[in-house]
């Protein structure tokens, strides 16, 4: 068998037919570069999501240090009125199509500061349009990835021409069981072979 005859190498397997728009959407869905931007403790969870355990790089999400190269802005953390204008500037510097994920209670609604603060903005959706809301204080990386998966569905449906889906989407809304998106593997469970012992 020559190299050209191996499965997957034949010409009819390498050529895919698709509409350009669909193809572009497919590419966008699998390369959601996000802006390296965090303002509070949600940023720590965002870093964890980028770290080796959750590793959002495998979803094609690579942090970009400039908004001009970013497709996705994850607003991770408390936004003050002073910061809000800067967030808007960053968002304006991003190229279309651009997406915004509001991560955590502070970015969603002001969170713990919504009642007693004079300086905290009650929800970043007053400055930039938000696609996905992720509740939590802060949300675990699982919840963030859950939100990103929901966003990918939306990116897949995005077309260059036509109306864009602007319906706000809330990850694990009130109807979801508390912590439903936060399944952590049970590392304390005994292995089936009864291992874990170090004694001879």
Partner 1 sequence: MSAVANDAIATAVLAQFPAVQQKHADNGRAFLLVPKGDLVAVAHFLRTQKSLRFDALMDLTAYDLLKYPSTPPSDDIAVVYLLFSYQHRHKVTLKVLAPRAECEVATVSGEWPAALYFEREVFDLFGVRFPGHPSLRRIMTPDDWQGHPLRKDYLYPDSYHGVAHLRDGQHFEGSPPRGGDTP
Interface residue list for partner 1 (CB under 8 A): 81-82, 84, 109-110, 114-116, 118-119, 121-123, 126-127
Q: How far is the CB of 178 from partner 1 (least distance, A)?
A: 22
**Is-contact 107 124, C-beta < 8 A?**
yes
Q: Determine the Cα–Cα distance for residues 62 and 42; give it in Å rounded to an integer.
A: 18
Q: Which is nearer to partner 1, 48 or 109 (CB)?
A: 109
Q: Which is nearer to partner 1, 130 or 148 (CB)?
A: 130
Task: Provide the H-helix boundaries in the chain.
Answer: 11-14, 20-29, 42-50, 81-93, 104-109, 141-157
Q: Which is nearer to partner 1, 91 or 127 (CB)?
A: 127
Q: How far is the CB of 8 from partner 1 (least distance, A)?
A: 53
Q: How far is the CB of 89 from partner 1 (least distance, A)?
A: 14
Q: How far is the CB of 125 from partner 1 (least distance, A)?
A: 10
- Measured CA angle at 102 (ends 27, 72), to 5 deg: 25
Provide the sign of the torsion angle of the four alpha carbons 16, 19, 22, 24, taken in this order: positive
């Amino acid at each position: 068998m020559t190299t050209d005859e191996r499965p997957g190498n034949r010409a009819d397997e390498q050529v895919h037919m698709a509409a350009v728009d669909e193809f572009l959407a497919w590419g966008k869905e699998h390369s959601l570069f996000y802006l390296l931007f965090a303002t509070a403790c949600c940023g720590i969870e965002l870093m964890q999501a980028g770290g080796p355990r959750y590793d959002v790089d495998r979803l094609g999400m690579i942090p970009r240090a400039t908004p001009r190269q970013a497709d996705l802005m994850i607003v991770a953390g408390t936004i003050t009125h002073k910061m809000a204008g800067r967030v808007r500037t960053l968002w304006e510097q991003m190229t279309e199509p651009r997406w915004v994920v509001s991560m955590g209670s502070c970015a969603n609604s002001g969170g713990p500061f919504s009642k007693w603060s004079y300086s905290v903005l009650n929800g970043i959706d007053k400055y930039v349009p938000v696609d996905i809301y992720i509740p939590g204080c802060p949300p675990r990386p699982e919840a963030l990835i859950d939100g990103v998966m929901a966003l990918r569905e939306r990116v897949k449906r995005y077309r260059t021409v036509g109306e864009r889906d602007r319906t706000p989407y809330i990850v694990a809304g009130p109807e979801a069981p508390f912590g439903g998106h936060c399944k952590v593997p049970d590392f304390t469970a005994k292995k089936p072979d009864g291992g874990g012992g170090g004694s001879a």
